[in-house]
Amino acid sequence: MGLFVGELHISAQPQEIVHNITATLQKGDYVIFHPTDSKGKELEFRIDDAREVIAQSYLASDRERFLILMAPSYSIEAQNALLKILEEPPQNVHFVLIVPSKNALLPTILSRLHIHIHKSKKTLSLFELDMKKLTLSAIYEFLRDCDRQSRSIQEIKDHIQALLFAVHTSGICLNRTELEAFDEAIALADSYTKESYIFLPLLLKIHKKQRGVR
């Protein structure tokens, strides 16, 4: 399956995505994992759901199988369990995750999936800096601007995700340690860490990596 072992669809209309994916598939070629309560309300994807996905992924099949995961959010424990299967996927298994926002998943999960963004009323913000022309002076000015802002925790997390997406679309490949730095950045945002302190190590890592490939 190459670098990516599945797809991530960011959409506010998950049922439409499922219909489009399964329209040309036979029933035995896909399994849908969509945790809901007795009234049909969507629930968080938890560790038990992840274990069910893992168990299904190891069922032997000569045909390609699609495991479709739908949830508004995924627990950290569930994501860590899913990450292991995404890093070493069984043969003939294709993973499809559907979420309303990139923030539902950790950067280490995002890196393993080919991302499809479906149009909605809410547009995803672009990161201000050009990853292919990143300079120390540009980083300095960016950090100064961060200190002038008064972003909420959620806005800072969105900003971190925008940086990761900019790296992804620029064709820059991050290793496991570098991706985990983004996970740590999200955790720092939740701890009310100053925004410039969060972005400084991330941008320096990217700048160093870019200098190494020139």
pLDDT tens digits along 41-90: 889 999 999 999 999 999 978 889 999 999 999 999 999 999 999 988 89
Does residue 131 form part of some domain?
no
> What distances in angstroms separate CA 43 from CA 33, 48, 50, 96, 200, one per listed residue?
11, 12, 13, 18, 35
How does DSSP classify residue 4? -
Percent of the chain beyond pLDDT 90?
51
Does residue 126 form part of some domain?
no
Reported as a pLDDT band with limits 50, 70 and 90, residue 3 is very low
Residue 58: per-residue pLDDT: 92
Say whether both 158 and 59 belong to one domain.
no
Say whether both 105 and 141 belong to one domain.
no
Say whether both 145 and 96 belong to one domain.
no
Over residues 90-114, the mean pLDDT reads 90
Which residues, in sequence order, are bridge partners of residue 9?
A: 98, 116
Does residue 130 form part of some domain?
no
Say whether both 19 and 96 belong to one domain.
yes
**Of 118, 153, 174, which residue sits at a domain end?**
118
Residue 103: per-residue pLDDT: 82
Q: Which of 14, 15, 199, 10 is nearest to 123 (CA)?
A: 10
Tokens of 86: 């995404």
Residue 184 has pLDDT above 50, yes or no: yes
**Of 118, 146, 169, which residue sits at a domain end?**
118
Residue 209 has pLDDT above 90, yes or no: no
Tokens of 197: 């302190």
Which residues, in sequence order, are bridge partners of residue 42?
A: 36
Say whether both 11 and 107 belong to one domain.
yes
Say whether both 65 and 164 belong to one domain.
no
Say whether both 146 and 188 belong to one domain.
yes
Residue 4: per-residue pLDDT: 57
Does residue 170 form part of some domain?
yes
Q: Which of 69-83, 119-133, 167-181 has the highest mean pLDDT?
A: 69-83
Q: Which of 123, 15, 5, 118 is nearest to 67 (CA)?
A: 5
The more confidently predicted of residues 186 and 3 is 186
Say whether both 141 and 90 belong to one domain.
no
Say whether both 171 and 110 belong to one domain.
no
Distance CA 64, CA 94 (A): 7
Q: How many residues does the chain have?
A: 214
Residue 174: per-residue pLDDT: 85
Distance CA 16, CA 145 (A): 40
CB atoms within 10 A of CB 190: 11
Does residue 125 form part of some domain?
no
The whole domain housing 206 covers: 136-212
Residue 2: per-residue pLDDT: 41
Reported as a pLDDT band with limits 50, 70 and 90, residue 120 is low
Q: Which of 121, 120, 89, 124 is nearest to 103 (CA)?
A: 124
Does residue 26 form part of some domain?
yes
Structural domain total, the chain: 2
Residue 150 has pLDDT above 60, yes or no: yes
